[in-house]
Structure 1
């Protein structure tokens, strides 16, 4: 027993001893025993540091540590068991397939268990592992069962002959690195361990084995055809449909179809002589027809997201409650699809997609991205020696998940180049399941796929594809197009979502896409808040590139998710507020509008003066109707007026409560009255001060010092923002990485030269030049102050000088307040907005605190701007703008924000710093995708803007 066999670690085969893959299901009556919980644990530095004696009966492991299964050992033990490693695509070990380093952390796991008293004595039993990273060797009661690779895939072993009533010893040796690691180079943390469930399943005589539910739908006749292939003969019953047939027989009956919008499931049962298994059957047909992806006869539009499994404390060891929370958040934010990047998820997640309604691209546990560094030389997917492992991974995905109606695509994997192994996988999948489509982004010629898929194609290229002007092979030109990844949601962003969605809806060939990605993979850290790449001392890492989600690590929605919800809302509401007509368009693929209730409200200067219900017909998908709004209230016609129309859930659903907002729009009625100040007061000067209306200024510099009783750190032109991840761009992109260019040209260290302080009959004028060191470019800036005795008006005129080859980060003024907390404003809200990410910004009156205005991006960066602000009140001041402006307030400067690497680096100072911006540069998604479109660039051009200050009393 005491020997050190480690050759299997570097064997390219998928393993040995495991049973053939089969469908995942929960039995109605066969016993099961969860082996999750506390396990004894020993960590060794190499694969062969310890012999196999720990697997023998009677081994004393009392002095071992403990870990929780499911779990990753590097996330337990307070650092005693090593640390996580984050890389995007670089292998964190030398690339020499199939070999791995001698330094190979190896975790020995021990679990001693008794069988329940009611465990049947007859029959067999299966030991099931749902996920182990990256290679495991298993013993039960001293007998070796086998070893396996394929971290995010199930593996089962027959163990009935080895079980005994009490004192069963389950031993599992897990290696962090193996030949399988070369196939698992996904953009994620490397986290070894038994991270999914371990279960003992009783298999009675005559038990259900593998089975395949075929449930198609004929949209012409409204009938569904059911046939259940079963490894063991039995009967299939579906009481609601009156079905009672033998396995293998087909039956056709009228049914309600399944779709992501109306996820109709029928409860059924598969019964053999030894076991009953519940079925949840969804009738639907997936076809590639007329160059389009059609479900139940209709072309569908994916409004999707890529989802890694993640929890900030447990890593990929997710519980059912967390999975449900993910799906509920997706549904509540109008998403209809998920790509399981880049591996099959826990099977319970697919149950939730079936139940609550999401289209699923189920992706195989395969990525060899690191081989791009050697131009794909030695790539395993083009090496026949690895093909059995690839086919094993494909089979374990398909067989496990084939009975989920939510799964409409099988994906071969991600960023694995091209090669014979992928072709073999595609051929096997097409043969095993011809009723679904096959996806793989890396196959641009579409030799093996049923869809032309790309990631991060820029807007102009997407439009060319939509128009059929992209060229490519004959097969590709006849296929639909999706963006399996787009709109990289890293940090502040993504921008440009609305522009993408407009293209998806304009061209039939464009069938939507999947935003990258769902959640920031921050790891909860006692000192840093949330840790990212490099925070654990990794030799190689990719920083905060792992924090690129639509929700924060604690699962709070980011502004990006709120924006996406608005952009993809399934009801379009548009019209002319002045004539009181609103057009309602049903953008669903399958559902009518009967589940929604509509309401209107009428606002004047941001305050609702009247509201009521709006009668909208139950429009069928694609239909529209013009609906008349009521007469505007007679008492609400003075001021800036608008209609707000909302579509709300009319009743509780399984995913949201009654009155949950699905869609909304605002329709202007009357324009805003711009603020005006008569320049009737005259500036007066003393030795130290200039006084004008309620304000005092420094006599030498013309710098504002007070407005009434409010002390002010002088406003001056500001063009700098703490660059966002998207401003800095991706390292493989070139001349439009504006964050880097801004630093190159010194926009973060502008010098302010005072040229003149001029006292006129009705104005104080301060002339300056704002420019960076080392360059001849600059901004001639004039501040003109006027007053009517009570209010103070500042007009800023900016004229660029020199050859400005880069846009500005922002353009406005910044000043400091000694005290400020509560904030009220009339403008866009409640959350942040930027030029290309402001669809979700709703005009109204909002209130907050300075701290609540901040958006807690894991890596601090520009955030928190409110758009289209008419006026804001804080720190004893009321500020009105002409034209509308962006408003930001924080307890640290942009320079401090720029220097911070984690939120814990940000400490409040003695001032609240306020930015009033005439313009902001767009956001884009250039951390991996395109930068801001041309219309969202803040070009250095002549500008003039004004603000009116007064005390709040």
Structure 2
């Protein structure tokens, strides 16, 4: 029944969520000719309404121009807005970032389904258009691909319809309302509605028409809905194509038929058939014979060409639908794809652009796909809503496994500051919410059902559980038995365990996962969210990926998340920066909790990706002195498309390298013998490196792209200390101790309690003297488990210490000055730093820590000093090339690399500890002319950090632009630094083996030598 009069009451009525909206259908394209369909270009029967629209913004419904839709109402003086786009990013209102709480929490006392009458921004849009050529005599529809969160539509003053659900299409029939010449389309968008109660995702709160809008028409005989499945038999070789077509005919009862042709990727006909429609429906099965299967490793796609024929056999419509033959099923409680146990090496992904929010482009999507493929990511969960249709097409083509998640999250209705309190939980088992939630499930499945990349339907996110969500799961199973169903929320109420086909948890610790897997589980396990990658994070990820080979029922996980949700903003001085919650005066807010990506918001790669790429490798390489063991863990793909490269190096210098083809079948391994020359090395280290790289260009990477690597470090005796031949002169004054030689001078200050000056060839290397350091600038994870509260004594100790002793010891050709430090906040702790200077000006620094009971764990044990910022070039022989930490070092390799000091800190949203390298053997710090110092580890490698900023400066800055102008280069050499953690960012500590116990004694040493 058509409704002609709109009502604002619909906004707060869960029973009204669509008025005059057309039924959901598949997202296939259609054309007038077969050739057009095969080209699969722009549709002539679709006309875009994207671009500039007239616009008016109102703070609430009572202040809106209520009659703006009438043909007499002039919008000439209105502003203009771009569609697609968010209202709040184009000059009206403010974006607001909140995580679990509803955006009105603390401002208005609301409970569902009620919404605010005072703060419900309204966007009034107007677009005039004339029907394009070819649309005049056929029905005309309009499609809104995404509008947040509820909207009304008028055409030429007549009410057309109403819809909610921000993330699936809403379509309406415009035919009865069209006029000759110019037509006035009016759309009224409300930010708050019952739909808003169901869209409490962890994201920025926007509103507006943020996905494309277009008109479309259809031919006389039109396939309104198409369901295509490429099925495999039990041998996983023989394919059957099943196609269900639903005809939308403008000529009732008109005979029609369809010819179906299945073409392979080269255009060869594999199978074909013709069948007549019966009562507007057609079902046809085609035997495709032995087929090439679809997987993320080999995303082979066939093309189904559908020709719709009228009674005379004339073509009225042509469709090309991509088809992937695959079989996804549960076998013996384990998920299998094409007969093989599958592992999800995945990420969660929000649609996001640093300037346009969720109004993302094709270029954004392609960039995301390429980044994922290049970094061994094979799966994506559409957190927490259906994405644009194009995303699924790209996943089909490039090869990614998809969990397609319906637009549902009611987090704030049942969890308050981490406590589960579902007294007013929605949808729960409330019957009045069943239809609106089920509509979201239906809209997603009907649009997306033809994409082979989608393996699992997800019933939304963090909405607790109940009868309503169970109904969605049962609908998915009945409508589409070829996929499985996911829902994490059953963890909170096991009465509804049937909602999910797999055990899915968020941020469970590895030990908890093992406990489940060791308890005779009935379902396989996936971590639908794990490794909360907020700021400097992703430490300990290996503990999760190691479960993959230990437990067959552990089938991988999805990192939270792919991309930072930060927006470009300007500070008061006109400088652009990456902004987070609160920066737009948005309250309430969850501040920087939007920065959880392994990719920065501008789509540059974070250092965290180094670890992800390595731990997600399907090809494992184990080099040794006699060759390389190649383990191919791909399920379907050999390594014939890859080339093996290998090299032998000593102290960073390559001694031998080579390459060769290597073809290891899927799920097998081989040993590739290589005649590495035996180096005649008495001391130091040599390194065996192996990598596999692409032989040829692919659609996601160029030839030479490294797919996987492995490294073996071989110790050949202790690295010798620098040898000195010169003599020294020692001057012990009342305040200073001077040690001098040919072209160099070191001054140790009893008053300062440290090395106060180190001059090489007249150049001063010490601007601020070295001091013990126990504090690192807290990371987001540190803050999450209250590191500042529990460990603040180390912060205080790093700011103030007392030098309780200075001793001078003279040798034949050396002098040693030792400083002893004690700390008022650390009873029982003592630190000594001994500087031994030889005749060449080499300074051997030995730092010792005497521990004490009853103190919190240390963030770091280090020595830190400043030089002038003129020394701004570094060259490393260390684990790298990107930053790494004790619990995030698997993806690093021992290598040489160069970086400017300004490039070493990472651009996390909130300044924090970053830029560290473990396994430091050698660090050269120089100016532009090559003058400077050479820092070398002695008995054991150290950790190192070179930065324009001190830990304290980073600690006290909330944004990068708050950091001071650069005057210094800060050098920090550590015996140990704790890991960064990553199980979650709100209480999970670093794993015990990566912490530093305060009662443990520690020592480390390194040398400082001149570079002239």
Structure 2 residue aligned with 1:474: none
Structure 2 residue aligned with 1:326: 368
TM-score when normalising by structure 2: 0.89
Gap change, CA 1:587 and 1:929, over 3 Å in 2: farther
Distance 1:901 1:546 in 2: 14
Matched, 1:717 2:765: no
Distance 1:799 1:682 in 2: 32
Written as runs of structure 1 = structure 2, the 5 A alignment for 1:554-633 is 554-575=602-623, 577=624, 579-616=625-662, 618-632=663-677
Structure 2 residue aligned with 1:228: 243
- SS of the residue corresponding to residue 741 of structure 1 reads helix
Contact kept, 8 Å, 1:208 with 1:271, in 2: the verdict is: no
Distance 2:506 2:782 in 1: 20
Written as runs of structure 1 = structure 2, the 5 A alignment for 1:361-376 is 361-372=403-414, 373=416, 375-376=421-422
- SS of the residue corresponding to residue 817 of structure 2 reads strand
Structure 2 residue aligned with 1:766: 818
Structure 2 residue aligned with 1:540: 588
Deviates more, 1:408-417 or 1:89-98: 89-98
Matched, 1:505 2:533: no
- SS of the residue corresponding to residue 336 of structure 2 reads strand
Structure 2 residue aligned with 1:42: 56
Which of 934, 938, 941 is the matching residue for 2:996?
938
Which of 265, 275, 283 is the matching residue for 1:248?
283
**Alpha-carbon distance, 1:101 to partner:** 0.9
Contact kept, 8 Å, 2:772 with 2:831, in 1: the verdict is: no
- SS of the residue corresponding to residue 416 of structure 1 reads coil
Q: Deviations over 1:279-306 (max 9, x none)?
A: 1000111111110111111110000000
Structure 1 residue aligned with 2:96: 85
**Alpha-carbon distance, 1:802 to partner:** 4.2
Structure 1 residue aligned with 2:750: 700
RMSD (Å), alpha carbons: 2.1
Structure 2 residue aligned with 1:732: none
Contact kept, 8 Å, 2:835 with 2:843, in 1: the verdict is: no
Q: Deviations over 1:448-483 (max 9, x none)?
A: 1111100100011122233336xxxxxxx2211000
Written as runs of structure 1 = structure 2, the 5 A alignment for 1:777-788 is 778-788=829-839
Distance 2:189 2:830 in 1: 62
Contact kept, 8 Å, 1:56 with 1:142, in 2: the verdict is: yes
Contact kept, 8 Å, 1:828 with 1:866, in 2: the verdict is: yes
Q: Deviations over 1:215-253 (max 9, x none)?
A: 112251611111110112523211334322234121222
Distance 1:146 1:156 in 2: 9
Gap change, CA 1:725 and 1:791, over 3 Å in 2: same
Contact kept, 8 Å, 1:778 with 1:802, in 2: the verdict is: no
Q: Deviations over 1:656-705 (max 9, x none)?
A: 11110000111224436424257985743134532235442244245211
Unpaired runs of at least 5, structure 2: 33-43, 248-256, 276-281, 310-315, 927-931
Structure 2 residue aligned with 1:855: 906
Written as runs of structure 1 = structure 2, the 5 A alignment for 1:213-362 is 213-218=228-233, 220=235, 222-232=237-247, 234-239=258-263, 240-245=268-273, 246=275, 247-252=282-287, 253-273=289-309, 274-362=316-404
Distance 1:910 1:540 in 2: 37
Distance 1:505 1:920 in 2: 30
Contact kept, 8 Å, 1:604 with 1:637, in 2: the verdict is: no
TM-score when normalising by structure 1: 0.95
Which of 400, 422, 428 is the matching residue for 2:475?
428
Distance 2:377 2:407 in 1: 24
- SS of the residue corresponding to residue 418 of structure 1 reads coil
**Alpha-carbon distance, 1:913 to partner:** 1.0
Distance 2:608 2:783 in 1: 18
Gap change, CA 1:347 and 1:221, over 3 Å in 2: closer
Distance 1:456 1:285 in 2: 30
Distance 2:874 2:530 in 1: 35
**Alpha-carbon distance, 1:749 to partner:** 4.7
Structure 2 residue aligned with 1:74: 88
Distance 1:492 1:74 in 2: 29
Structure 1 residue aligned with 2:851: 800
Distance 1:594 1:405 in 2: 25
Contact kept, 8 Å, 2:344 with 2:557, in 1: the verdict is: yes
Gap change, CA 1:643 and 1:614, over 3 Å in 2: farther
- SS of the residue corresponding to residue 244 of structure 1 reads strand
Which of 461, 473, 476 is the matching residue for 1:414?
461
Distance 2:148 2:797 in 1: 45
Contact kept, 8 Å, 1:749 with 1:772, in 2: the verdict is: no
Matched, 1:906 2:963: yes
Contact kept, 8 Å, 1:351 with 1:404, in 2: the verdict is: yes
Gap change, CA 1:610 and 1:28, over 3 Å in 2: farther
Structure 2 residue aligned with 1:878: 934
Which of 857, 861, 874 is the matching residue for 1:811?
861
Distance 1:574 1:683 in 2: 52
Distance 1:344 1:568 in 2: 25
Q: Deviations over 1:159-194 (max 9, x none)?
A: 123334531111100001111100000000100010
**Alpha-carbon distance, 1:410 to partner:** 0.3
Q: Deviations over 1:875-897 (max 9, x none)?
A: 41111112211111112211111
Deviates more, 1:828-837 or 1:231-240: 231-240
Q: Deviations over 1:61-104 (max 9, x none)?
A: 11111110000010012xxx110111101011243111111121
Number of equivalences: 931
Structure 2 residue aligned with 1:868: 919
**Alpha-carbon distance, 1:746 to partner:** 4.2
Q: Deviations over 1:787-838 (max 9, x none)?
A: 244312111111123422x221111100110231111111122110011111
Structure 2 residue aligned with 1:472: none
Distance 1:195 1:880 in 2: 55
Contact kept, 8 Å, 2:864 with 2:972, in 1: the verdict is: yes
Deviates more, 1:397-406 or 1:679-688: 679-688
- SS of the residue corresponding to residue 858 of structure 2 reads coil
Distance 1:201 1:554 in 2: 34
Contact kept, 8 Å, 1:333 with 1:565, in 2: the verdict is: yes
- SS of the residue corresponding to residue 48 of structure 1 reads helix
Distance 2:369 2:170 in 1: 26
Q: Deviations over 1:422-456 (max 9, x none)?
A: 01111111111111100000012322111110010
**Alpha-carbon distance, 1:633 to partner:** 6.3
Written as runs of structure 1 = structure 2, the 5 A alignment for 1:439-454 is 439-444=486-491, 445=494, 446-454=497-505
Distance 1:937 1:602 in 2: 34
Gap change, CA 1:863 and 1:609, over 3 Å in 2: same
Contact kept, 8 Å, 2:844 with 2:1008, in 1: the verdict is: yes
Contact kept, 8 Å, 2:632 with 2:666, in 1: the verdict is: yes
Written as runs of structure 1 = structure 2, the 5 A alignment for 1:479-494 is 479-494=523-538
**Alpha-carbon distance, 1:944 to partner:** 1.4
Matched, 1:674 2:719: yes
Which of 115, 120, 125 is the matching residue for 1:109?
125
